Amino acid sequence: MSKLDAKIPEGPLAQKWTNYKDHQKLVNPANKRKLDVIVVGTGLAGGAAAASLGEMGFNVKNFTIQDSPRRAHSIAAQGGINAAKNYPNDGDSVYRLFYDTIKGGDYRAREANVYRLAEVSNSIIDQCVAQGVPFAREYGGLLDNRSFGGAQVSRTFYAKGQTGQQLLLGAYQALMRQVNAGTVKMYTRTELVDIVIVDGKARGIIARDLVTGELTRHFGHAVVLATGGYGNTFFLSTNAMGSNGSAAIKAFHKGAMFANPCYAQIHPTCIPVHGEFQSKLTLMSESLRNDGRIWVPKKKEDAEAIRAGKLKPTQIAEEDRDYYLERRYPAFGNLVPRDVASRAAKERCDAGFGVNSTGLAVYLDFKSAIERLGKNVIKARYGNLFQMYEKIVDEDPYETPMMIYPAIHYTMGGLWVDYELQTNIPGLFAAGEANFSDHGANRLGASALMQGLADGYFVLPYTIQNYLADEIRTPRMTTNEKEFVDTEKAVKARFDKLLSIKGERSVDSIHKELGLVMWDFVGMGRTKESLEKAIKRIAEIKKEFWSNVRIPGSNDGMNVELEKASRLADFIEIGNLMAHDGLNREESCGGHFREEYQTEEGEALRQDDKFAYVGCWKYEGEDKAPALVKEDLVYESVKMVQRNYK
Amino acid sequence: MSNFLTASIGRKFIMSISGLFLMMFICVHLGVNLLLLFDDSGELFNLGANFMATNPLIKVMEPVLGLGFVVHIIWSFLISLQNYKARPVGYDKSNAAYSSTWASRNMLVLGALVLVFLVMHIIQFFIPVKTGGLEATMIDGVEMHNTYALVAGLFKSSVLYCILYIIGGALLGFHLGHGFWSAFQTIGMSNQYWLKRLQCIGKIFAIVVAVGFAIIPLYFLIKF
Amino acid sequence: MENTINLTLKVWRQNGPKDKGRFETYKVENISTDSSFLEMMDILNEQLIKENKEPVAFDHDCREGICGMCSLYINGRPHGPDDDVTTCQLHMRKFKDGETVTIEPWRAAAFPVIKDLMVDRTAFDKIIAAGGYVSVSTGGVPDANAIPIPKVDADEAMDAASCIGCGACVAACKNSSAMLFVSAKVSQLALLPQGRVEAKARAKAMIAKMDELGFGGCTNTGACEVECPKGVSITNIARLNRQYLAARFSE
């Protein structure tokens, strides 16, 4: 494999995107009609891209595994979306948003991409307002902003605690408008099951109709994967039940590089695990940390009494509470980035100060905020989150502090893409969480929505033309070509194989086993030993899966267990990749914390001289270890320094 | 405009407008009827009835009223049929009472029962008045039907009819209890403030109408 | 600390759209009252897989009450016996030990059953495609703060926009009407200056599509509002009626 070319445009950082757009190739309107683009996924990135490409006149085929494009998991994002508007006049700028994102990502993101992200962030807000997204407003009628972790300015736009929902619905509505106009054809309850490569270029996909079980072939001059992250490798995560990494793994198996798989974000404010029957973890928006204060008891005996149910948190006196984030990070306090907050919670719980019956929880307390602002203000800001908490935990967070604990939330790693969001397979693009590009080793709050929409509305519609301009002479394929037929055959064989195992164990039981291995050995704190152990255990789980899984039913018609099994097989591959990447990366950065590499105060210790690169993994064949390819990260504008939130 | 009458909101608009019109009629009707209570000689009521029978505006409105009834009834069946088709398979176990009132779910049933009552009412009062055969009476030198005798005679002579008329009043009350605010909601005259107000006014209106109509047979039942 | 209950489940099973379907009865034991209703369904399915039977198909995804994918008509109510929740947020503490729980799919001509408890709600997408958007393309829009919007309007628009498209309103309505769903989108966009431009045409187009797809009409029973997991108000329906009538009378 030749060296990876990130295709970063020439010129000073602030001019790169302008230069790119000024000189890129475009496709004229008459030719757009002749070009087919497949977009897989309908979340912020996929939905926005499909709508925008449709508006431009391309023939778009858009796929989703859900019953409707509006169900994509982007919908669950609560807190908000960042933009460098500087409406509050508190010193924000494109550069500062860029800098905060780079720093938040622990200097492991590509400068040019991040700068572009910050640059287009303002257009996103304009676009969404024009679509009728009901952002929160001040009494003067102008947009309101809130602050978020990892930033000292208020740059986060929000729509109650449902910002992701509102932004997604904006994109969804734009998408449905194109469906109505006939430029986008929607395939719901249809899953990508493989990618078709013809002469080294991505030319289509094989999809499975989840209702009928039928396999179908689809041609596209380009294929865009906007299929989200792979957090569900851990079984328990804040991701939706259907979120999966299969599309990325299909691309990986076809030769696409998987970049930085070990960078998984642990979100500090999730409702703690309460039992082994649990199916998923519920996130409480990070925005809660604006007004909530995080603490554990100062005295171990108090923590023990709380765990035994003998003491209530409200009975702990103020001086006996340890507001450990405020203590350790006075400058940022409760608003430190997610990775820092998560590790601090784990540190306290590991030290024996955790609460809840499991000892794996800390308090998020609104008492002082309610005293300061009144219950009504808190209710207006977080009402729906408080209600959600109460429904799940059966405790009133206005009266008793919430209990929270970190959980897997977002994966910064993903398919390697260049500046154009194109993977190393020509014609195969990746957008949103599915790619690795903008968040480095850790994503700041309210940046996922920004990145998804930036990719979908303002980046991909440009960069994909640079590729498609050379494809105007490529006629549409019939999908009866050998490559399509062979790929479909291989897919069918795989499903038949899965169904033929007829073992003893359910898909979920194996998935839970994988999840535990991931959480214990590839979780918040990793070591060389734990990662080596993980690789070994994952290999065993893989063997167990392929010899002992039980999938009732057949391939004709809907078969939910078969869908789940197929995705689990891919999660096992991802788990293996994550462990390999984590093992290789002998440093701590962002969401990747190697216990061997920490400062005396327990902070992440990077090794910039050895690991200032993107770890890209190449598929080497079934049961072979993946091969590492590096993309060096060259910082021209920002100096790499130790992150400091004190 | 043609498909407006068959569109879901169009159909409801027809129901709403005809319903509001019938409610106005009910107000007038009730106003005249209540005259029965204030003068046992019947003079007052007969004057009222005669006014209604001879006033040109009322005369013009009479066929319009008839049309109002016909439209309200026909459209109610059209709407119900259409809505019935929207759920071919029903639920095995349904707890509809949790989320809506019985009256709101059964406006057709209530309306049909009111219709039965209405037919009886027309046979007993409206037709005799129109076809003549009523004895005449002289008030202030004007000759007019002694409608009072017809009404009072019926209620004085039959406990059964008294009870039927009381039931009729109650049915109408239930129908209006939902119908009143619903009519305003359907023509869009409601918002976050007015919804509650209209529902409250609707309830009061329904009670006034039900009690107003029921009190008349009750009055005759108790007094005579 | 943890309580467990045993339940008898009466579950609708249907192999496909053309199958007639029937109820089947299952028993589940030792269900923690802290688990969610869908986790209880997971346990049932685990049990069925163990017995080599086909698990019950039901829609679900985010399991935090926002994607709108989960449905289920539980003991006579959409999303079951709790207020302001989706089925995934319904917890087993709402049920009594030994209780029989009847689980049915949404019932509406416009929502045909796909399998078991799964229904096809693409009708909602079709309604949105008919006009539930502001006709702006990407790029070339004014600055976000160019048009101030009164906070009350923005807040009311947000309340309407909180609809998750689950279809509980249709399931609860005795007429299987989608009026609350349609009105939520029409209201949201009519309240904002960006959407007001097309407000009338939007109301007309979306209602025409709703009627065409076989949803019933609104008879103002208010059941939709009560059963809506997001508490979307029926005052939105009044606004929709207003917009629609204004559209039709200005023709």
Q: Which residue of B has its CA nearest to C77?
A: B95
Interchain proximity B99–C172, CB inside 8 Å: yes
Interchain touch C–B (≥3 Cβ pairs closer than 8 Å): yes
**Is residue A124 a contact partner of residue A458, using CB atoms and an 8 Å limit?**
yes
DSSP secondary structure code for residue A620 in this structure: -
Residues of chain B positioned with their CB less than 8 A from the CB of C177: 8, 83, 86
Backbone angles phi, psi at C7, to 5 degrees: -135, 155
Interchain proximity C107–B93, CB inside 8 Å: no
Q: Name the domain count of chain B.
A: 1
* Residue the block writes with tokens 């048009």: C147
Interchain proximity C158–A159, CB inside 8 Å: yes
A81-82 and A156-157: which strand pairing?
antiparallel
**Is residue A250 a contact partner of residue A192, using CB atoms and an 8 Å limit?**
yes
DSSP secondary structure code for residue B126 in this structure: I
- d(CA C173, CA A157) in angstroms, rounded, equals 36
Query: Does C127 touch chain A if contact means CB atoms closer than 8 Å?
Result: no
For the segment A403-416, what is each residue's pLDDT rounded down to a tens digit?
Answer: 999 999 999 999 99
Is B97 inside a domain boundary?
Answer: no
Query: Does C206 touch chain B if contact means CB atoms closer than 8 Å?
Result: no
Q: Which two tokens stand for residue C140?
A: 């070339």
Question: How many CB pairs (< 8 A) connect A and C?
Answer: 223
- Over residues C183-196, mean pLDDT: 98
What CATH class has A488-619? mainly alpha
- Residue A429 forms beta bridges with which residues? A224, A422
For the segment A367-399, what is each residue's pLDDT rounded down to a tens digit?
Answer: 999 999 999 999 988 888 898 899 889 999 999
At residue C1, does pLDDT exceed 60?
A: no
Interchain touch C–A (≥3 Cβ pairs closer than 8 Å): yes
Rounded to 5°, angle at Cα C57 from C54 and C60: 145
Grouping H, G, I as helix, E, B as strand and the rest as coil, residue B188 is coil
Mutation for testing the A interface, residue in C59, C67, C155 having most A CBs under 10 Å? C67
Interchain proximity C108–B189, CB inside 8 Å: no
Is B93 inside a domain boundary?
Answer: no
Decide: residue B66, CB within 10 A, 0-12 exposed, 13-18 middle, 19+ buried. Answer: exposed
- d(CA B149, CA A423) in angstroms, rounded, equals 96
Mean pLDDT lowest among A637-646, B166-175, C214-223: A637-646
Mean pLDDT lowest among A164-173, B48-57, C36-45: B48-57
Query: Does C251 touch chain B if contact means CB atoms closer than 8 Å?
Result: yes
Query: Does C120 touch chain A if contact means CB atoms closer than 8 Å?
Result: yes
- Enumerate neighbours of A (3 or more CB pairs within 8 A): C
Task: Report residue B2's pLDDT band, with 50, 70 and 90 as the boundaries.
Answer: low
Task: Report residue A78's pLDDT band, with 50, 70 and 90 as the boundaries.
Answer: confident
- Over residues A121-134, mean pLDDT: 98
Supply the ipTM of this predicted assembly: 0.97
At residue A112, does pLDDT exceed 50?
A: yes
- d(CA C150, CA A203) in angstroms, rounded, equals 49
Cα-Cα-Cα-Cα torsion A504, A508, A512, A518, nearest 10 degrees, comes to 110
Task: Report residue B72's pLDDT band, with 50, 70 and 90 as the boundaries.
Answer: very high
CATH topology of A267-408 equal to that of A488-619? no
Q: Which residue of A has its CA nearest to C166?
A: A71
Task: Report residue A1's pLDDT band, with 50, 70 and 90 as the boundaries.
Answer: very low
Residues of chain C positioned with their CB less than 8 A from the CB of B101: 221
At residue A3, does pLDDT exceed 70?
A: yes
Active site residue A338: yes
The whole-chain average pLDDT of chain A stands at 95
CATH of the domain at B183: 1.20.1300.10
- d(CA A134, CA A167) in angstroms, rounded, equals 9
Is B206 inside a domain boundary?
Answer: yes
Listed residue (A180, A225, A179, A215) closest to A464, CA to CA? A225
Q: Which residue of C has its CA nearest to A274?
A: C34
Q: Between B88, B99, B188, which is nearest C238 by CB?
A: B188
Mean pLDDT lowest among A56-65, A282-291, A629-638, C97-106: A282-291
Q: Which two tokens stand for residue A410?
A: 């977002």
Domain that holds residue B64: 2-86+102-223
- d(CA A372, CA A367) in angstroms, rounded, equals 9
Interchain proximity A76–C62, CB inside 8 Å: yes
For the segment B31-60, what is each residue's pLDDT rounded down to a tens digit?
Answer: 999 999 999 999 999 999 999 989 999 999
Per-domain boundaries in chain A: 267-408, 488-619
Question: How many CB pairs (< 8 A) connect B and C?
Answer: 147
- Enumerate neighbours of C (3 or more CB pairs within 8 A): A, B
Please report how many Cα atoms fall inside a 13 Å half-sphere around the Cα of residue B209, on the Cβ side. Answer: 26
Interchain proximity B93–C104, CB inside 8 Å: yes
Q: Which two tokens stand for residue C27?
A: 């028993």
Q: Between B1, B89, B185, which is nearest C238 by CB?
A: B185
Cα-Cα-Cα-Cα torsion C125, C126, C129, C133, nearest 10 degrees, comes to -50
Own/partner pairs for B152-158, CB < 8 Å, 24+ apart?
B152/B36, B152/B42, B152/B220, B152/B224, B154/B124, B155/B216, B155/B217, B155/B220, B155/B221, B155/B224, B156/B220, B156/B224
DSSP A192-248: EEEEEEETTEEEEEEEEETTT--EEEEE-SEEEE-----GGGGSSSSS-TT---HHH
Is B33 inside a domain boundary?
Answer: yes
* Residue the block writes with tokens 């590096």: A630
CA distance A237 to chain C (A): 11
Please report how many Cα atoms fall inside a 13 Å half-sphere around the Cα of residue C199, on the Cβ side. Answer: 23
> Out of 3.30.565.10, 3.40.50.2300, 3.90.700.10, 3.40.50.150, which CATH number does the structure's domain A267-408 have?
3.90.700.10
Active-site hit among A155, A338, A443, A606: A338
For the segment B191-220, what is each residue's pLDDT rounded down to a tens digit?
Answer: 999 999 999 999 999 999 999 999 999 999
Q: Which residue of C has its CA nearest to B76?
A: C219
Order of strands across the sheet with C73-74? C22-32, C4-13, C100-104, C73-74, C77-78
Task: Considering only residues B141 and C154, tell me which one the structure prediction assigns the higher pLDDT.
Answer: C154
Q: Which residue of A has its CA nearest to C148?
A: A141
For the segment A278-332, what is each residue's pLDDT rounded down to a tens digit?
Answer: 888 998 888 899 899 999 999 999 999 999 999 999 999 999 999 999 999 998 8
Q: Which two tokens stand for residue C169?
A: 């309103």
Q: What is the pTM of this model?
A: 0.95
Interchain proximity C217–B12, CB inside 8 Å: yes
**Is residue C65 a contact partner of residue A62, using CB atoms and an 8 Å limit?**
no
Listed residue (A544, A644, A626, A636) closest to A582, CA to CA? A626
Q: Which domains does chain C have, with CATH numbers?
A: 4-104 (3.10.20.30), 121-249 (1.10.1060.10)
Between the alpha carbon of residue C89 and those of residues A173, A251, A286, C5, C76, the distances in Å are 26, 35, 20, 18, 17
- Residue C102 forms beta bridges with which residues? C10
- pLDDT at residue B140, as a whole number: 87
Mean pLDDT lowest among A354-358, A409-413, A493-497, A641-645: A641-645
